[in-house]
Structure 1
Amino acid sequence: MLWVVESVLIVLSVVAAIWLRAHADPEGREWLFARGPVPALLVAACLTLSMAAFGLYQSHLRLRRSELLLRLLLAFAFGGVALLVLYYLIPATHIGRGLLAITFALGFASVLVVRIAMDRLLGGEAYKRRVLVYGAGVHADLINLRMRRRADRQSFAVVGFLPVPGQPVVVESRLLLETLESLPCLVQRLGVQEIVVAPDERRGGLPMDEILACAQRGVSVVNLPSFFEREAGMIKLEVVDPSSLVFSGGFDHSLVRRLSKRAFDIAAASVLLLVGWPAMLLVALAVHLEGGGPVLYRQVRVGESGRCFELVKFRSMRTDAEKDGVAQWATQQDARTTRVGRFIRKTRLDELPQLFNVLAGDMSFVGPRPERPQFVDQFNDEIRYYSVRHSVKPGLTGWAQLRYPYGASAADAQEKLKFDLFYVKNHGLLFDFIILVQTVEVVLFGRGAR
């Protein structure tokens, strides 16, 4: 909704700029309007795409007013550069520097006002879906533990937790609902629009007749794993079971999906190589000049279906970083990292050679990050469903990289797996494109690098 509103505002900003610029020149105004909506739509597409690249359409991202202003400024600046390149390549789309300047001023002001207004107006409880949680035990309390921030609850408001008879209560007493009336009556009285079924034990503990009566009145009913998947973009390992994964759809491996993903990989990798080869030459030269030794670093990683392949990166650590042959996690301020290595790891330039892995078919552009065999063996034993992430090709970037910082332990691997499983279950061409665009924000702001 926000993207649609802001796209319309930017298109209207182009129209307003034409009227302001050409009010004294009727012939010029008629010429501009005769060209149709294409120039205005191109401006809106470039600016909103740039805003997406700077994370401005990530619902989980909490921004202070100053951070919002900075990201908007950067997004409009990069969008302007993209438009100038487009105008150079396709002169027919050009609308003039004066018009563009007025459009940017009007568009920036209107987008900023809308962002502030929506944050204040739509943040109220009246605009959120009213949710009743059926359950008050350990599973139900995960909503309070993992979705306690305001940014986590932008689309819903929990009216209360209804304890399941005979099951332990963990949720705070102030959040509990009385059980003196039937579930349909309680739902009607509280204006509930959705019931999240979250008992610790489901066998024999659910009043299915009452839940069915609520569903017949138009109240949505979802289980806790589906609720987390929809609202948090993750598969909650603590509550999901094999049947939830099997019967909830997803896991698209059709021929059309495989072909579209491969085409996307080849196109994205080729474009990035075409644009990034000068940077790759400079990085290779800097790595060589700093201390000699090999420029590239090769490491065995685990790919699709558990098959191993050789991943290629620019060397960012000393040549004796793992002289004992034991795999080690990278740490904050890792002493093994060279000066050039610290910079290229922070900016992700060390990963550019992996584009050749993508072209070779060992990796995809988007997917779970590939791990080393030693760690995979450990995680398969310690973490439930870890092997599921290997049902798709590993990626140069991924959903977990956007939603979770650098992982350096088994606990981090378990947290990242929640997002990797969400991607594996829901991957698609549009989702890949969204992740690719938002990766720009991760690189520019250095989130997760180590």
Structure 2
Amino acid sequence: MITLGNRFFPVRSAVCFFVEGGIILVSVLASFLLLQRWGGVTIIDLHDAIVRGVVVAFFCQSCMYLLDMYDLKHLQKWGDLFFSLVLAVGVVCIGIGLVTYVVPEFGVEGSMYYLTILFVATFLLFWRISFDIYLHQYSPKEKILMLGTGEAAQLLGREIRQWERLGFQLAGFVSIDPETGNNVAGIGPLLGDASVLVDLAKKHRVKKVVVALNERRGGYPIGFLLDLKVHGCDVVEWTTFFEMLAGRIPVDNLAPSYFIFQSGFRKSILLLFTRWLLSLMAALALLFILFPLIAVTALLIKIDSPGPVFYTQERVGRRGKIFRIVKFRSMRVDAESAGAAIWASENDPRITRVGKWIRRARIDEIPQLWNVLKGDIEVVGPRPERPEFVRKLEKMFPYYSLRHTISPGLTGWAQVMFSYCGTIEESKEKLQYDLFYIKNMSVKLDLLILFRTVKIVLLGRGAR
């Protein structure tokens, strides 16, 4: 397991990606060699066959990425796997056909086209089934022993269960409080109490013990934990491990001292300047590239419904500064005629016909590039909220004001990891992702967010 942006990134997903790239390339070369040797057909030379193999691999694996086929944590049913693979191959058939028509020197045509598609579909299906069986039954897993049975331990236990295919396995719970021992039923086995912690770790060949105690009733079993540590067992605090698994900070179960003693949350001047400069350059480039789309969208909005093309709204920026964000108008002019700020909901009746489509494709957000140029926001950061919502949420969540310690963004970690936020409970979930980003902010994490944003925009996910 490696870390990317201070979050676990499963090596098995990377292995799957590169193996499938090789399978696709070999499929193209195999079809070329078969046709040349036994079919009596000489269409292209070996160099051109390799180039075409790379093109096919790019198309196929891009489709598989967009269909979440490399998210091994969630793609667990064979039916879903088969459907996604068929859909990906179908899109590739169309894509390769278009490439062959537009740029023949990079395309695959004739007998080689059909043979390549047959090989790719067959080999990928066989590989995925074999790999799935390996993940379920034979892959090595790092066993985790949980010290604690309270809410924090249960939360982390459920998260670990989702990572079993990717290298972690919950060995069980060790209780330090008899009153909460029965709460872990359905998550993992209760193996005993802290007095047998060392014996349990040896018996189950545990390499990592996670301390997940909501309260220090009776104190930590320091002696047992030290014994485990000096004998090579990794002892970690639960919040750190949870963050690396889930990519969020669990605000409900944090001690007040967490934000004081945890590493992170400190931003160097060089990092802040680099992010600002990259945001400025990206905004200028995107405005130039997207100008035709901006013009067409403005015309469609004007034709579709009466009112202005652009819509401005107050938002809270860095250090609580109020600014006006610019968006394409996607709702009726009287959307908030009652005077109260209202969260958008799914199938909101206030959304216009054109607004429905530009929100789904996130086109309504493009004018915010002007806010980037003005310095109100950056390309990546927590999404700015309306002052009315901020006042309410700051009263409910004590750490909410930390969102305003950095510049807000056009896209963010919460946007690529969580769906649209339209309720108080969803705002709390979103806050956990925002806090994770603020703690671990880096150019590397920003690039990961932008990469995931492309997928969300292309698939129209998370918009309301």
Query: Is the Cα contact below 8 Å between 2:318 and 2:404 reproduced in 1?
Result: yes
Listed one character per residue, the Cα deviations across residues 247-283 of structure 1 (whole Å, up to 9, x for unaligned) are 4433352244234423442454344434433332222
Structure 1 CA distance for aligned equivalents of residues 210 and 167 of structure 2 = 14
> Residues 413 and 39 from structure 1, CA distance in 2 versus in 1: closer, same or farther, beyond 3 angstroms?
same
User: Is residue 310 from structure 1 mapped to residue 319 from structure 2 by the alignment?
Assistant: no
Contact in 2 for aligned 1:303/1:394 (Cα 8 Å): yes
AA paired with 2:168? F
Segment of structure 1 superposing worse, 433-442 or 12-21: 12-21
* Matches of 1:50 and 1:379, distance apart in 2: 39
Match of 2:340 in 1: 326
Q: Secondary structure, in 3 states, of the residue corresponding to 1:310? A: strand
Q: 2:460 aligns to what?
A: 446
Greater alpha carbon shift after TM alignment, 249-258 vs 232-241: 249-258
Q: Provide Cα deviations, 1:415-449, integer angstroms capped at 9, x if missing partner.
A: 11111111222232232222222223323443322
User: 186, 197, 215: which one pairs with 2:200?
Assistant: 186
Identify which of 139, 147, 168 aligns with 2:159.
147
Query: Which residue in 2 is equivalent to 1:3?
Result: 14
Q: Alpha-carbon deviation of 1:135?
A: 0.7
Q: 1:298 to 1:389 in 2, by over 3 A?
A: same
CA contact (8 A) 2:160 2:168 kept: no
TM-score, structure 2 normalization: 0.81
TM-aligned CA deviation for residue 346 of structure 1: 2.2
Q: Distance in 1 between matches of 2:160 and 2:46?
A: 54
Is 2:376 aligned against 1:362?
yes
Contact 1:13 1:107 in 2 (8 A): yes
Aligned to 2:224: 210
CA contact (8 A) 1:10 1:103 kept: no
SS at match of 2:252: coil
Partner of 1:244 in structure 2? 258
Contact 2:60/2:89, CA 8 A, preserved across alignment: no
Deviates more, 1:282-291 or 1:108-117: 108-117
Superposed displacement of residue 52, structure 1: 3.7
> Aligned match of 1:235 in 249, 254, 258?
249
Q: Does structure 1 conserve the Cα–Cα contact (< 8 Å) formed by 2:380 and 2:408?
A: yes
- 2-structure distance, mates of 1:393, 1:428: 13
Q: Does 1:69 align with 2:85?
A: yes
Of 390, 393, 406, the match for 1:392: 406
TM-score (norm: length of structure 1): 0.83
1:197 match: 211
SS of the residue 2:350 aligns to? coil
1:136 to 141, 144, 149: 149
Change (3 A) 1:73 1:258: farther
Amino acid at match of 1:323: S
Q: 2:147, 2:212 within 8 Å by CA — same for their partners in 1?
A: yes
Asked if the contact 1:9/1:107 (under 8 Å) is kept, the reply is no
* Unaligned 5+ runs, structure 2: 1-10
Corresponding position of 2:175: 163
Q: CA deviation at 1:131?
A: 1.0
Give, as a single letter, the amino acid of the residue that structure 2 aligns with 1:139: A
TM-aligned CA deviation for residue 374 of structure 1: 1.1
Does the aligned pair in 1 maintain the 2:28–2:53 contact within 8 Å? no
| Greater mean deviation of Cα atoms: 69-78 or 133-142 | 69-78
Pair 1:430-2:444 in alignment? yes
Evaluate the alpha carbon distance shift between residue 227 and residue 162 of structure 1 in structure 2; reply closer, same or farther with a 3 A threshold: same
> How far apart are 1:77 and its partner, in Å?
6.9
Equivalents in 2 of 1:125, 1:171: separation in Å? 30
Give yes or no for the alignment of 1:121 onto 2:110: no
Q: Which stretch shows the higher mean deviation, 56-65 or 199-208?
A: 56-65
What's 1:57 paired with? 70
Write the distance in 1 (CA, Å) between the matches of 2:93 and 2:385: 37
Is 105-114 or 384-393 further displaced after alignment? 105-114
Alignment partner, residue 289 of structure 1: 303
- Which stretch shifts more, 224-233 or 429-438? 429-438
Q: Which amino acid aligns with 1:164?
A: I
Match of 1:220 in 2: 234
Secondary structure in 1 matching 2:130: helix
- SS of aligned partner of 2:264: coil
Letter in 2 for 1:401: Q
5+ residue gaps, structure 1: none
How many Å apart are 1:393 and its aligned residue? 2.0
Q: Distance in 2 between matches of 1:359 and 1:60?
A: 39
Report the alpha carbon displacement of residue 220 of structure 1 after superposing the two structures with TM: 1.7
Q: 1:371 aligns with which of 358, 379, 385?
A: 385
Task: For residues 43-102 of structure 1, give each alpha carbon's deviation from its aligned partner in whole angstroms, at most 9, with x where no partner exists.
Answer: 7667655644443434554462255226634775798699889x97xx9xx655458887
Deviation (angstroms), 1:139:
2.3
Matched residue pairs, number? 441
Amino acid aligned to 1:405: S
The answer to whether the 8 Å contact 2:99/2:106 transfers is no
Tell me the CA shift for residue 352 of structure 1. Answer: 1.5
- Report if the CA contact (8 A) 2:150-2:213 is conserved: yes
**Residue 130 of structure 1: SS of its match in structure 2?**
strand
Deviates more, 1:401-410 or 1:7-16: 7-16
Name the SS of the counterpart of 1:312 in structure 2: strand
- How far apart are 1:313 and its partner, in Å? 0.7
Q: Which amino acid aligns with 1:443?
A: V
Secondary structure class of the residue paired with 1:159:
strand
Distance 1:79 1:267 in 2: 32
CA deviations over 1:332-353 (Å, ceiling 9, x no partner):
3222222222222222221121
